[in-house]
Amino acid sequence: MPNAKMTTDKLKNIKLSLGFFSITIGWTLTNFLYSIYLGWTYGKATDSGVVLSWSGLFIYIAWAIFIIYPLNKLDHNKPLFKRHTFPLLTAGYAGLVYAILVGGLFRDFDVVVIFMPLALSIGLFFGLTYSTLIANDRIVNLLNDKPALKLISFLSPVLILTFYLWLFPTIFPSLVYRFMPDEIQDKIFVKTIAKYKVGDRFSQLENSVPGHFDDWIHNGNGGVNSGGPLIDYELQVRNDTITKLSMTIHE
């Protein structure tokens, strides 16, 4: 069983790496849950890409200004770093930091209130992840013995975004469609509708891009004429059969 001084010395070498990874996990899980909430509540995760981008910017600004120094200075043997305490403290701290940064920039109380739950969630997941990692002797020893592995933590935002915004939509397009940012949804839609022609069953297309046609086509009947940066198309459906489909895909 390592003594407190040995544990503290080992944590000094890796706590910033674990902290950066933990804040990335907090940011990722919060945005993932927010996208699921939007997808199930409104049918599509509209504007989730904007929230993902802005929250990422503010998170790493907050990391540089408000988190690095306390993590370096605080004694990790204190009770406040226990799993039952630290997540609650970091949730409150995240809310305070969010209010300072966003309130100072936008000077709009409504903006601060609307997205405060996301800030609290990020702080909660950060604290839960960090307190779990620093209490795991195997992880602490591994990162001390193989310091090159610390690089993974700083690459974690890129790796996670690659999985979330490229790999998942590529492998499971219909499954993740409604939970993706608008730009990814548009790309999935273009690739999907291009596979269909007059005479095909509309329900198959509808199931491939769930929620996309809800405003225009009901019970297998209806139509839509729409345009955008990636595609202009006209679709007519009767008795669950595509009766007209013309499209121009913009390369």
Residue ranges covered by each domain of the chain: 4-179, 194-249
Number of Cβ within a 10 Å radius of residue 152: 12
CA distance 83 to 68: 20
Residues (pLDDT < 70) of the chain are 1-7
Q: Is 187 exposed, middle or buried (0-12, 13-18, 19+ CB in 10 A)?
A: middle
Query: Residue 105 has what pLDDT?
Result: 84
Q: Which two tokens stand for residue 2?
A: 């390592």
CA distance 239 to 221: 6
CA distance 237 to 244: 7
Tell me how far CA of residue 200 lies from CA of 5, 193, 208, 216, 225, in angstroms: 70, 11, 13, 18, 18
Query: Residue 1 has what pLDDT?
Result: 42
Residue 64 CA to its chain's centroid (Å): 20
Query: Residue 107 has what pLDDT?
Result: 81
What are the φ and ψ backbone dihedral angles of 235, each rounded to 5 degrees? -130, 130
CA distance 132 to 140: 11
Query: Residue 2 has what pLDDT?
Result: 47
CA distance 175 to 168: 9
Tell me how far CA of residue 116 lies from CA of 21, 32, 129, in angstroms: 22, 16, 20
Q: What pTM, to 2 d.p., does this model score?
A: 0.85
Are 220 and 203 in contact by the 8 Å Cβ rule? The answer is yes
| Non-local CB neighbours of 148 within 8 Å, separated by 6+ positions | none
| Non-local CB neighbours of 174 within 8 Å, separated by 6+ positions | 192, 207, 208, 209, 210
